[in-house]
A and B are shown apart, each in its own frame.
Chain A
Amino acid sequence: MPRLPRVSSFWRNLFHKRRVERDLDEEVRAYLDQVTDEKIQSGLSPQVARRTALIELGGVEQVKEQVREVRIGAFLETLVKDARLGFRMLRKERGFTAAAVLTLALGIGMNTAVFSVVRSVVLSPLPYSDPDRLVCIRQTLMEIPGLSDYLVVTPDYEHWRDQNHVFENLAAYGQLKEANLSGNGEQERVDATNVTWDLFPMLGVRPALGRSFLPGEDRPGGPPVVVLSHSLWQRRFRSDPNLVGKTITLNKQGYTVIGIMPESFHFPADRSPQLFIPLGLEPNLTFASPAFSAVFVIGRLKPDARLDRARSDLVTINQRSDKELPPKYPRELHAKIPIIIETLHDHLVGNVRPLLFILLGAVGFVLLLACANVANLQLARAATREKEFAVRTAIGAGRSRLAKQLLVESLALAALGGVAGLSLGAGGVALLRHFLPPNIPDLKTVRLDPWVFAFTAAITVLAGIVFGLAPIFVASRLDLERTLKEARPSATTGGATQRLRALLMVSEVALALVLLTGAGLLVGSFIRLSSVDPGFDPRHLLAQRVVFPVGKYQTPAQWTPFFLNVLDRVGGLPGVESVAAASAPPLTEAPWEGGVMIEGRPAPRGVIPWVGMCAVSPNYFHTLRIPLVSGREFTAYDDDLASAEVIVNESFARRFFGKENPVGRRILLGGPPMTPYTIIGVARNTRHLPLTSEPTAEVYTSYLQGPAGFMRLIVRSTSDPASLASAVQARVQEVDRDQAVHDVATMEQRFWTAVAPQRFNALVMAIFASLAVVLAAVGVYGVMAYSVSRRTHEIGIRRALGAEQQDVINLVLGRGVWLVLIGITLGLGGALALTRFLSNLLYGVTSRDPATLIAVSLLLACVALIAGYIPARRAAKVDPMVALRYE
């Protein structure tokens, strides 16, 4: 006897199968013979003896099967056998297999694609060391509309850093700003940011080359050192391995390169700067210091600290520092400024998380629909296989054995779908990446990783089980005797099966309606947003930003001639119809705000209202084709500050003057002290970014009377504006060789970029919903066609008895219509419950927009009815004679 009997048995069962089987067969037959012998000896005739012995035995095959089931390795063996049989069945029924695999592949592929985005954007940890303890702290002195990132003022930051009990580290960085990179090649503007020395160590990121900043390098007057991003190093310096230690020129000042960040480094913000310089903060800043500025703060909590404790700690510190506030500073205000602390992960991906989960939910629905359809196919197939099931039961297969085999068959089908889905998913990822709006971070890393594979495998198995239950349901309700006797599946088989089909059809319609409603709302939002009147004519307009280099052009007296010169030269270019400049033209961020008072009126409740302020050059309204409702535009002569003039927009006029014409009235702006201006015109409202925000009150001042340090040049061309870009840049650099032009885009491009997120939402949901509708239509068609095929005989009789074609159509369609209506009602319920999750993504429609609900219901009803009408019509065409002979 071998030492491990079970192992050797397993081996024998698996690899000497034939011998084991022959042995078993002989053994059972020998038993049968022995019993027969006994019976003969007791006086029965050989035939009767044989039969009695067989009955006593219970069937040779059945006994053998029972032995096989207890054998070691039986599970594995039947699994392999079932899988092989399953694949053989699938190969034999190519049409069925192709339809099912395609359906599943679509469902699984979409889920794979969306999940891989969710996984890399939302579920994967941030690429920093111990990222769970990183938090982002924000605070604001006042609610500034359009300013989505709230900054912390530097005295507060220093107090927190020095006095807190909850943070291991509090690092800060400044707002993104543009620096002029020159020397070794062309001028270019690069995004730079100032960081405290400890930011990189706190994140746990080390430079790939060189070193990071040292303590003390972030003091004012510290050494001019710079750390470059990998991409800038690669692009601008051709990955020069000896760059560290060399000097580059930034804003005309020499900086020593001390380090290059690794390629994998992502700065913890939406936009990644290309270079980093130390943040020169004075130690012991007070609110009275002139060097007072605002920064973003990122902290690392101590291991045991919680967010709420951190917040109360900072609030305590702020209350203490209230005493230091200079007298004119609103003391109550400082203590009341809310401190917002959230995990860095929430801060970075919090705004896209809902969208991604909505998409994941939507593709989940699509997969459910796919499963329902495959279940439907399986039901139809199971009906034709009833006889097979019956025969197999009769020759010894237990019900559980049959169920197991059907399940394995379904899983085999699902596996094929899963494999196909995975490759579709890979394509889907590429497609999604192409269409994803820029506000979704870190897309470079979206790929199919083990987690995605695991997810795909899991949903594949789940799908296999879900639709695999359908044939098991049929097999388990099999009436052996009747099935074997009857020539063909009867119309009466399975009232329960019929109900299951009806249930599938209803749920398909309902699921499709929910998705269709979501898509309808998002498409509606997109259409409304993209048909928003921007207030000007965006065709043939090129816009670019011109920022003066720090250090040169320090005063307004220097800016104005520069700009007049630029406007003059660019205006002379062939193909330029007209040119203008503005500090905040439409489709850019909202303008800076300033206080306004109407002459002769006290400020309401003592608070000076704030309005947007935009400095524009002469010809601005003409160039952008912004209609003036009344009054006139600035001219080149409006340059005298003594008789300062403004143009206001319609919102301003409505807010401060109601129906009255404001032209000729005087207002006070800026300050203190405030400067009086005369209103000379009212312009139509224009839209700023984000496009979803409604226009607010805005005043236009003449650039000649009050210039700004950064302007956008707007060129109206006679032909394609994009082709003018390099010519315009050349003209600007004729005026000043060091002057870079950037953020160049046509106004139409800016418009489409502005609606890109909504376009993405609408497009993706529309794709999902169309698929859902197609799947639902196929489902309805399948159920109807099947019920027609089962009722051919009955329909033949009705026709023979005089029913018209229309009667038959009504008869067949009648039940279908009911089911579709039930499905739509349920779907509407589901939509009303679920669309509120879309609220934040909608524009111009509410999540329960009745028009959308009605429209999608009608659309789906029509599609479903057409899908049902085709088989009904075919039924009506049935020749009664053929139908009757059919049996």
Chain B
Amino acid sequence: MAGSQMNLLQGTLDLLILKSLALGEMHGLGISRRIEQITKGTFQVKPGSLFPALHRMEEAGWLSAAWGESENHRRAKYYRLTKAGRRQLGAETEQWARISMGIASALETS
């Protein structure tokens, strides 16, 4: 995993986390695996980026967290979207769509 790739995509990490939690609550490893899956392996989120992002987003009020039990009966912290988180997901999706359209049209010209 190249550091440069992570830097470039710093802003998108939030969106990916919000997106992966849209369907329901999930623990850290689950989120990481989910992102890998929904981006078809383009992104592998390392814990060193994942946890700071989760905590930052929780502090921002987009996520809430609670302790629960994992599939193989281990204690794990589960994250879920709050109302503010859903709003944020909507806003970021829209923004991302605008950006990708802009970039795409920029690449098409000339």
Contact = CB atoms under 8 A, between A and B. Distances in A.
Interface residues on B, range: 20 to 34
B74 to A, nearest CB: 6
A69 B28 contact: no
Given A9-B59, A35-B29, A70-B55, A30 B47 contact: no
A575 to B, nearest CB: 91
Contacts of A69: 52
Contacts, number: 75
Contacts of A57: 47-48
Given A37-B72, A66-B51, A67-B51, A6 B60 contact: yes
Interface string B47-91: 111011101101111001000001010111100001110000000
A817 interface: no
B61 A63 contact: no
B54 to A, nearest CB: 8
A783 B34 CA distance: 59
B98 interface: no
B74 A33 contact: yes
A63 B49 CA distance: 8
Interface in A56-73: 56-58, 62-63, 66-67, 69-72
Contacts of B53: 70
Contact of A5 (B47, B52, B61): B61
Nearest to B55: A67
A27 B28 contact: yes
A453 interface: no
A58 B70 CA distance: 22
A26 interface: yes
Given A1-B82, A5-B60, A70-B56, A31 B47 contact: yes
A855 B47 CA distance: 68
A293 interface: no
A67 B64 CA distance: 16
Interface in A1-21: 1, 5-6, 9
Contacts of B83: 1
A71 B52 CA distance: 8
A28 interface: yes
Given A1-B84, A70-B55, A71-B59, A34 B70 contact: yes
A27 B77 contact: yes
A28 B75 CA distance: 11
A33 B77 CA distance: 13
Nearest to B77: A27
Nearest to A1: B82
Nearest to A32: B47
A26 B28 CA distance: 12
A33 B27 CA distance: 13
A56 B32 CA distance: 13
B47 A6 contact: no
Contact of A6 (B27, B59, B70): B59
Q: Nearest 6 A-B pairs (CB), nearest first?
A: A5-B61, A9-B59, A70-B52, A27-B77, A34-B29, A70-B56
Interface of B: 27-29, 46-49, 51-53, 55-56, 58-61, 64, 70, 72, 74-77, 82-84
Given A34-B29, A62-B48, A66-B52, 13 more contacts: A1-B61, A1-B82, A1-B84, A26-B77, A30-B74, A34-B74, A37-B74, A58-B48, A63-B48, A66-B49, A66-B51, A67-B55, A70-B55
Interface of A: 1, 5-6, 9, 23-24, 26-28, 30-31, 33-35, 37, 56-58, 62-63, 66-67, 69-72
